[in-house]
Amino acid sequence: MEENDIEFDPKLILPNGYTLMVGSLLRCLFNYANDPKHIKQITQSTYATLYAAETDPGMMKEIIEDMVVEDQMSGFDSALNELLDSENPDDKEERK
C-alpha cells in the first residue's frame, strides 16, 4: 500500500460501543468465497454477534472468545491435516 492510499474499512457501531468491522468482514467472506464451510461459520458468528449486541450485550465477551477459539482451532486442524498428509499420503482417506 502506498503512503497516500487510504484503507477503506467501514465499521458499524453496535450497542455498548462494540464495533463490527464491515470492511474486514466482507474481505474475509471474499477470501473464503470457494469454501462454503468457512462462509457458513463466518455468517453464523456474525449473526450471533449482532443478535447478542442487540439483545444481551453482556454476552458479547463470551461470544467473541468463542469465535476466536473456533477460528484458531480451525487453523490448527488445517495445519495438522496438511502435516499428516505430507508425512503419510497413503493414510489421507482414512482421516476423512
Report the greatest alpha carbon distance in the chain: 52
Summarised one tens digit per residue, pLDDT across range 35-93 is: 998 899 889 888 888 888 888 777 777 777 777 777 777 667 777 777 888 877 666 55
Question: Contact, 9 vs 24, CB < 8 A?
Answer: yes
Q: Is the pLDDT of residue 29 over 60?
A: yes
Q: Is the pLDDT of residue 95 over 70?
A: no
Q: Global pTM?
A: 0.58
Top pLDDT among 3 and 76 is at 76
**Measured between alpha carbons, how far is 34 from 23 in angstroms, rounded to an integer?**
19
Q: What local confidence, expressed as pLDDT, does residue 1 receive?
A: 45
Asked if 85 and 93 count as a contact pair (C-beta separation under 8 A), the reply is no
